[in-house]
Structure 1
Amino acid sequence: MKKTSLYSIISIMAVASFVSCKSKSGSSDKTGMAYNKKEYGGFTVNNRYKRGPGPGLVEIEGGAFVIGGSAINVPGQELGNYNHKREITVNSFYIDETEVSNTNWLEYLNWIVTNFPKDYEYYYNELPDTLVWRRPLSYNEPYVENYLRHPAYQDYPVVGVTWEQAERYCEWRTDRVNELLLRERGYMTSFKDKNGGTANAGATTASAGSQGPFSTGTYLNNQIDDKGKRAMKDLNPSNAGNGTGKNMATRNVRLEDGILKSAYRLPFETEWEYAALGLIGNTQYENINDNKIYPWSGLGLSSAKKGTRGLILANFKRTKGDYMGVGGSLNDKGGITVAVRSYTPNDFGLYNMAGNVNEWVRDVYRPGTFEAADAFNPFRGNLYLDKKIADPTTGKIAVDKYNRPVMTEALYAKKQTWAEKQAAATKPADSLKNAYADQRGFRDPQTELYGETTLVNDKSRVYKGGSWNDQALWLNPASRRFLQQDESSADIGFRCAMDMQGSPEIRSQGKPQFKNKPGKGFRGR
């Protein structure tokens, strides 16, 4: 997927270069006032925005499909192991080309020890549990010591990570990607200049002094003051001392500028299943020519191509005792996991969407989620959170010791009045009567029976895909299991996803379109 990576880089450069120049064209079709001009109030509009995926991601054009539909021809399915069949629609999104590898996780740990060398608790909490390899009747001790750190396994998927750790990795990755983008393009001080001109300073994010490390949410709230050589010009004429040219005041990049990437996150179950199936390769003019029961076409588990005929198409356990084939002719090439770029990618270009490791998704587990969930982007797991306000008058948000916004449970189902907002800051207890329902258990009495007739609760998270330790039954994209969000396993890893903003259609060239005159000044999508 080198083309995708190149496309990502080009997109970032194109957006960054355009916004730095400040579009000089365009005006409001409702007021006639020109955009991006100080004399007209300095209202800034990026009318040439071009989106693109963040590093490592592949774009997935969404659409309608039958969730659970791929299980139709799978023998031996048991109630609860597969999704309830229902037609739903998934919006377009981005997802990682590969699973997160050991090297990716070690990069995370290295950042922690570099920026917080004495915060031993932080480092310890993000260490994967390598003891997941231990078995009382199996000699797996070498993996306990070597699997995470030895270079022989550097491209293998990280395992032993909980759902909670995976979520925190996604948050960290968001901040590192956005910080690199801002510093490399000059909107913030470059890594080299920030660290006294040392040539290798860009290898990691060094400590940022009193402000703390970069956080996307804190930066967007103007609580990180770091302007680079090509910082955005502040066109607001009311700013004190706002001159012209080089003397003009500067500001932080805003969400409206279209420069920062959306947050990395775990994929929703519907997104993951849709991406794993890769039906785009079997679809023409909205007609699905052949359904799939695996991420590849056909009913078999081995390749039919001449050069690879007979080779297993995924890393899984063929029988209860056969993990890799016969010596001298190893079939799937792996006793445990294999490198994240193994086998043939599916029609979306995604590797190992069946086998190798199961993968965490974001959803809270319920057996019948999709019988009642919405038909557009169905998801169970919403616990609505808001940034905690430290000063309701200025809008300053509270941050933790890592300079990340402090998130609190949402108390209101709609926008508060100004008076309510001020009162909530001084008397939060008074507003609890309006507390928003925890949507994870919305209309669901099942958790009341936890420990009596069910092990499912609000911390039960879905994982999918099958693994090196599973038989073919679990390779079907519709299969699903659950584990507590604070537990881990030697056969569960993850990959990240990202929202796609704007039109769900990724490529319109060559497709029939209505010819509409665009609004004045608007050329992006």
Structure 2
Amino acid sequence: MKNSLIFISILASIAFFSFSKPRKPVLDLEGLKNATKVGFSYIPPGKTIIDNDTIACEGFFMSKMEVSNFNYQEYLDDLKKAGKMDEYKLALVDSAKWNSTYFQGDKYVQHYFNHKAYKNYPVVNLTRQQAEKYCEWLTQVWRKYTQNPSLVFRLPKRTEFLRAANGTSLYRPYAWDFPYLRSQKGKMMANFLRIDGGAITRDTVTGKFRIAINDFDFLGNEAEYADVTAPVQSYLPNEFGVYNLNGNVSEMVQEKNIAVGGDWYSPGYDIRNQSTKKFTEANPMVGFRPVMTFTESSKGEKGSKSSK
């Protein structure tokens, strides 16, 4: 699937299927399910568990894929075209952060965000504030095309991420319906740090052992090569049609100072649905994906705790 067509197709579809009376922002659920099937999945209401609390979660739409370099470049191009140069400068990716990893990341500094070969890879090296600004821009774009002022794009709550990842089970360790990192056919289910004998090498300069993370292959839809991150539409989607909820990049949520789901730099145990990691500044391991909801004036989205 070409990301260059995703948002255009979705916008056109929503305009056709939904909101025939733009002055009355009413949730046309069935219409939106059809309209967003290209790039967003409907996650039905359900429950999640955090810290032994069972929490109810309203239905919402989640991007099937992490925001890609191409998607984010569209945002930058739009800011530049509109002459919003101050906002453009604040939105720029901090590619120098690739050098914060233990291996030398010069080639990623130069090419990862800018080269067309990486356009369908997840955008990284952004702050939480930059991701929120992207969501605000996306909200403005969709409201313009749908003529519906109730649409809101934002970072997911952790409960929403878990609802999407857990599927029909409250206790599923990963987004797929079995407790292992390989399928019965031997396919790896996610992009993560595989620490085993075959991944350990001795540094020729320091003489110390290290993990050769950039030498890994991954087995996905087409068994492509992943040098750190993998493309946003890799491996198998979960039952809701969402890709890479475990591994690849940890994902920002509304809760501050954490990212969830693990990433290419995380060992297998740390890419579980419940996994969190500290996130306070831009880095090459963290990306994001938006969810779509509605303003409370048209669709309430208040969660509530049930008894334990």
Q: What is the identity, as a one-letter code, of the residue corresponding to 2:248?
A: N
- 5+ residue gaps, structure 2: 201-210, 302-308
Which residue matches 1:277? 166
Within-5 A mapping of 1:496-507: 496-499=290-293, 502=299
In the alignment, does 2:235 pair up with 1:346?
no
Q: Distance in 1 between matches of 2:101 and 2:46?
A: 47
DSSP 3-state at the match of 2:151 = coil
Does the 8 A contact of 2:262 with 2:277 survive in 1? no
Question: Given the alignment, which residue of 141, 148, 167 partners 2:132?
Answer: 167
* Structure 1 pair 273–326 and aligned structure 2 pair: CA distance change class (3 A): closer
Q: TM-score, normalised by structure 1?
A: 0.47
- Distance in 1 of aligned mates of 2:102 and 2:17: 57
Deviation at 1:311, TM superposition (A): 2.1
- Equivalences for 1:182-261 in 2 at 5 Å? 182=147, 259-261=148-150
Asked whether 1:64 is paired with 2:10, we answer no
Residue identity matched to 1:57: F
After superposition, the C-alpha distances for 1:254-282 in whole angstroms (9 at most, x for unaligned) are: xxxxx345110000011111111222xx5
Tell me the amino acid that sits aligned with residue 297 of structure 1: D
Q: Judge conservation of contact 2:187–2:219 (CA < 8 Å) in 1.
A: no
Q: Distance in 2 between matches of 1:15 and 1:498?
A: 15
Q: Which residue of 2 aligns with 1:100?
A: 67
| Distance verdict in 2 for CA 1:333–1:311, change over 3 Å | farther
Q: Is the 8 A contact 2:247 2:271 kept in 1?
A: yes
Q: Aligned letter for 1:489?
A: N
Q: In structure 1, what is the Cα distance between the partners aligned to 2:251 and 2:258?
A: 9
User: Once superposed, what is the RMSD of the aligned Cα atoms?
Assistant: 3.2
Instruction: Identify which of 245, 260, 273 aligns with 1:477.
Output: 273
2:284 matched to 1:467? no
Q: Which residue of 1 aligns with 2:18?
A: 15
- Alpha-carbon shift at residue 472 of structure 1 (Å): 0.8
1:85 is aligned to 2:52: yes
Secondary structure in 2 aligned to 1:88? strand
Is residue 98–residue 340 contact of structure 1 (8 Å, CA) maintained in 2? yes
Kindly provide the CA deviation profile for residues 315-351 of structure 1, in whole angstroms up to 9, marking residues without a partner as x: 0011072537767999783120011000000111100
CA contact (8 A) 2:162 2:273 kept: yes
**Secondary structure of 1:477 counterpart:** coil
- Give distance in 1, aligned partners of 2:236 and 2:120: 16
Within the candidate set 273, 290, 298, 2:178 is matched to 298
How many residues end up aligned between the 2 structures? 273
Q: Distance in 1 between matches of 2:219 and 2:46?
A: 41
Q: Which of 183, 186, 196 is residue 310 of structure 1 equivalent to?
A: 186
Q: CA deviation at 1:7?
A: 8.3
- Quote the offset at 1:138 in angstroms: 2.7
The offset of 1:488, in angstroms, is 0.6
Q: 1:274 to 1:172 in 2, by over 3 A?
A: same
Q: 1:297 to 1:324 in 2, by over 3 A?
A: farther
- Tell me the CA shift for residue 474 of structure 1: 1.3
Cα deviation for residue 135 of structure 1 reads 4.6
- CA 1:491–1:346: 2 relative to 1, 3 Å: same
Q: Which residue is 1:251 aligned to?
A: none
Which whole-Å deviations, capped at 9, do the CAs of 1:96-151 have from their partners, x for residues lacking one?
111000001110110111111xx543222110110111158633101001100101
5+ unaligned residues in a row in structure 1: which ranges? 21-43, 68-83, 183-258, 283-287, 365-460, 505-525
- 5 Å-filtered alignment, 1:504-523, equals none
CA–CA distance in 2 between the matches of 1:293 and 1:127?
Answer: 35
Question: Counterpart of 2:255 in structure 1: which amino acid?
Answer: D
Distance in 2, matches of 1:329 and 1:495, equals 23
Corresponding residue for residue 357 of structure 1:
249
State the SS of the aligned residue for 2:42.
strand
Q: 1:137 to 1:273 in 2, by over 3 A?
A: closer
Change (3 A) 1:90 1:114: same
2-side partners of 1:136 and 1:296: how far apart?
29
Aligned partner of 2:156 among 240, 263, 267: 267
| Structure 2 SS opposite 1:336 | coil
1:479, CA displacement in angstroms? 1.4
* 2:113 corresponds to: 148
Return the alpha-carbon distance in structure 1 between the equivalents of residues 216 and 287 of structure 2: 27
* 2-structure distance, mates of 1:62, 1:102: 31
The answer to whether the 8 A contact 2:246-2:271 is kept is yes
Residues 169-195 of structure 1, C-alpha deviations (whole Å, 9 max, x = no match): 00011111222334xxxxxxxxxxxxx
User: SS of 1:363's equivalent?
Assistant: coil
